[in-house]
């Protein structure tokens, strides 16, 4: 079979680890030339180096996605190194430990979550769109969350609000650019077994509080979200735009879960 991203240039944010790392490696394996972007530059360089050693094409870029000049430089790196930009996977996000309920989340935490999780996605889209148009079209894949679709008593108010914003913004961009060769879709992951989640759920009771609501009985894996991103980035999803692809182990479908 031909590689699904053959001839494409992709930017992946938050690519120094977790879902972003898996996506960058998978995109490269499927033929894409990849801009590996992360605020942790050393981690990005390690991932890019591994891709190159495996025979792929990649370049590392350090970026704070909440800073417009850095995001513009990230998108321009795709042009300067590879001559085009066809895919952006806006994956970078944060989930601070003190992001809690509406009355106890610090204002500074709310602001930082919005800067990274929502503004960062907007800046990524803003930087990518004109370059995608110049490259003949492209696919935007934004990471939202299943919490954008349902509420939780285990509060994370800033994170939830930011992901709801990502979902709405993705639909808006999809409709605006639907006849200009650019698609935009969102992924709504359930809880994924990443280092960030492992740190937050180190307490067994806190972990079980969430596991009980997952019909499949486990957390997701980073590579499962990366594969969903690959589908949305590729021509396999060519008639999809403005969609929210839910990858949550059945959480949003469940009323009572299996014993």
Tell me the catalytic residues. 159
Torsion angle, CA of 176/82/115/49, rounded to 10 degrees?
A: 140
Q: How far is CA 231 from CA 3, 59, 128, 170, 237, in A?
A: 12, 22, 19, 17, 6
The token pair at 81 is 């190194």
Contact 240, 231 (CB under 8 A): no
CB neighbour list of residue 2: distance below 8 Å, 6 or more residues apart: 31
The token pair at 184 is 């935009």
Nearest to 167 by CA among 234, 122, 212, 223: 122
- Three-state SS for 214? coil
Phi, psi of 37 (to 5 degrees): -115, 135
Beta bridge partners, 244, equal: 186
Q: What is the DSSP string of 204-243?
A: HHHHHHHHTT-TTSS-B-HHHHHHHHHHHHSGGGTT--S-
């Amino acid at each position: 079979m031909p590689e699904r991203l053959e001839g494409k240039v992709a930017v992946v944010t938050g690519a120094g680890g977790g879902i972003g790392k898996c996506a960058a490696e998978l995109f490269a394996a499927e033929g894409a030339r990849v801009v590996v972007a992360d605020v942790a530059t050393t981690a990005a360089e390690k991932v890019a180096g591994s891709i190159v050693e495996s025979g792929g094409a990649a370049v590392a870029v350090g970026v704070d996605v909440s800073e417009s000049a850095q995001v513009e430089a990230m998108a321009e790196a795709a042009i300067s190194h590879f001559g085009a930009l066809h895919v952006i996977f806006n994956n970078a996000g944060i989930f601070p430990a003190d992001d809690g309920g509406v009355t106890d989340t610090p204002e500074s935490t709310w602001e930082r979550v919005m800067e990274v999780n929502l503004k960062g996605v907007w800046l990524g889209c803003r930087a990518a769109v004109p370059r995608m148009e110049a490259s003949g079209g492209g696919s935007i894949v934004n990471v939202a969350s299943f919490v954008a679709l349902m509420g939780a008593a285990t509060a994370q108010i800033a994170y939830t609000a930011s992901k709801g914003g990502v979902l709405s913004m993705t639909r808006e961009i999809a409709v605006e650019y639907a006849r200009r060769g650019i698609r935009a879709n969102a992924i709504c992951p359930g809880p994924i077994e990443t280092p960030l989640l492992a740190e937050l759920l180190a307490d067994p009771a806190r972990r079980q509080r969430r596991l009980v609501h997952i019909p499949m009985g486990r957390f997701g894996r980073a590579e499962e979200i990366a594969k969903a991103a690959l589908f949305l980035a590729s021509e396999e999803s060519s008639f999809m735009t403005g969609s929210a692809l839910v990858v949550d182990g059945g959480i949003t479908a469940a009323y009572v879960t299996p014993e």
